[in-house]
Amino acid sequence: MQYIEVSIETAESGVEIVLGKLIAMGIDSAEIIDPEDIREISSDKKKYAWDYFDETLLENADRNPEIRCYFPADEQGVGQAKRVRAGIEELRCVRDVGGFGSAIDLGPLKVQISRQDDSEWKDKWKEFFKPARIGEKIVVSPSWENYRGKDGELVIEIDPGMAFGTGTHETTSMCVRLLEEYLHPGDEVLDAGCGSGILSIASALLGAEKVQGVDIDPEAVRVSEENFVLNHVESVCHAEYGDLTEGVDFCGDIIAGNLMAELICQLASSIRKHLKRGGIFIGSGILTEKENAVMNALETAGFVIEKKLQDGEWSAVAARKDAQ
Ligand code: SAH
């Protein structure tokens, strides 16, 4: 979809004034890109408990704040964009004659109007997603590559769309390796936080009889269902919208959850309830520095840790619900 983006470069103390001007012009939605937010988040990682922080964001941390507004890519939209430029020009004139006093810095008040196409950035990542072996036998291939598996390979075709899970992230590939080790043909599997559906499909290819995917993101549920059909496993795998913290009606031999450390700790006892006796929980998405906390939470909930894997800064675990 095409749209028009108007970007206004200002300064910290100019943000409110520029927004006020836009509102006075009847523009009531705008995006504020304030590098101060990035600086604050990166310097206070602990407070926000981020596990994922894209360090490339810091490259822009020295820039001026920017306010962006968006209009349809039609004649009316072009007109509105020009009106914004004129409005900001007015602000600049008021500033230049000292209308805001000397204490308030409005920054460069530079306006840029551009035509954007969101299909371009949506598809950009596709150039970097190539077939990759992520387990002993399991290979992931983008659905548009037409990769034919070699002897013994199990190929998952995937189009993750806007959901997480091309399979190439360490947290996913460790889950796949543990599924290859622990899943027995005929098992029933709960894929907790299914994303693109990749772990559900891997389970089906490894011989699971029934797989239930659950995700809190409706887009992930939609994408999973599409990928199940793409891989011809729709009779085995199903995805549904759901929040694991609110309970899911399924009891499996295996639960795979590529979630974050905090969520695994929080869910440890409810994961246990959804496992059959002797069942295995495969947990991933654990930053190695948080591994101990996760192991403790799982042991406290009554799991026995059977295996730990580590790749880069990430850890994964296989824990058994002991047959009491
Ligand atoms: N299983 C995929 C995706 C993992 S990303 C893979 O291994 O590649 C984690 C997923 O968990 C995301 O899609 C996110 O939407 C989902 N999620 C996070 N919290 C959740 C919750 N409380 N209940 C259900 N799903 C959740």
DSSP letters for 255-275:
EEEE--HHHHHHHHHHHHHTE
Whether ligand 1 lies within 6 angstroms of the CB of 194 is answered as: yes
The DSSP call for residue 149 is: P
φ, ψ at 103 (rounded to 5°):
-80, -25
| Rounded (10°) CA dihedral 103, 108, 114, 117 | -60
Q: Which atom of ligand 1 is nearest to the CA of 267?
A: 22
Report the nearest atom of ligand 1 relative to the CA of 259: 9
- In 3-state terms the chain splits into helix, strand, coil percentages (rounded to 5) of 40, 30, 30
* Two structure tokens written together for 96: 């230049």
The residue type found at 60 is N
Question: What amino acid occupies position 10?
Answer: T
Residue at 151: amino acid letter: D
**DSSP letter, residue 75:** H
Q: How far apart are CA 302 and CA 278, in angstroms?
A: 11
- Per-residue confidence (pLDDT) for residue 163, from 0 to 100: 74
The CA distance from 200 to 271, in Å, is 17
Residue identified by tokens 């009889």 is 209
Residue of 134, 175, 198, 216 best suited for mutating to test ligand 1, as the one with most atoms within 8 Å of CB: 216
Is residue 30 within 8 Å of residue 68, measured between CB atoms?
yes
pLDDT in tens, the chain (324 residues): 889 999 999 999 999 999 999 999 999 889 999 888 777 777 765 555 556 666 677 777 788 999 999 999 999 999 999 999 999 999 999 999 988 888 889 999 999 999 988 777 667 777 778 889 999 999 999 988 888 888 899 999 998 877 787 888 999 999 999 999 999 999 999 999 999 999 999 999 999 999 999 999 999 999 999 999 999 999 999 999 998 878 688 899 999 999 999 999 999 999 999 999 999 999 999 999 999 999 999 999 999 999 999 999 999 999 999 865
Which atom of ligand 1 is closest in space to residue 165's alpha carbon?
8
**Residue 283 Cβ contacting ligand 1 at under 6 Å:** no
Question: What is the rounded distance in angstroms from the CA atom of residue 303 to the CA atom of residue 282?
Answer: 11
**Is the CB–ligand 1 distance for residue 243 below 6 Å?**
yes
Closest CA to 200 of 258, 147, 136: 258
- Which of 52, 140, 164, 173 has most ligand 1 atoms within 8 Å of its beta carbon, as the pocket-test mutant? 164
> Are the C-beta atoms of 224 and 217 separated by less than 8 Å?
no
**From the CA of 88, how far away is ligand 1's center (Å)?**
43
Entry pTM:
0.71
Looking from the CA of residue 220, the nearest atom of ligand 1 is 13
CA of 166, closest atom in ligand 1: 8
Atom of ligand 1 nearest to the CA of 191: 1
3-state secondary structure of 177: helix
Distance of CA 275 from the midpoint of ligand 1 (Å): 18
CA dist 179 and 171 (Å) reads 13
C-beta 140 within 6 A of ligand 1: no
317 lines ligand 1 (CB under 6 A): no
- Chain-centroid distance of CA 224 in Å reads 14
What phi-psi label fits residue 64: left (phi over 0), alpha (psi between -120 and 50 degrees) or beta? beta
Beta carbon of 162 within 6 Å of any ligand 1 atom: no
**Which tokens is 34 given?**
């304030």
What is the reported pLDDT for 8?
97
Question: Token match 């440890």: residue?
Answer: 268
Q: Ligand 1 pocket, 254 CB below 6 A?
A: no
- Is residue 282 lining ligand 1, measured as CB closer than 6 Å? no
Write down the pLDDT at residue 206: 98
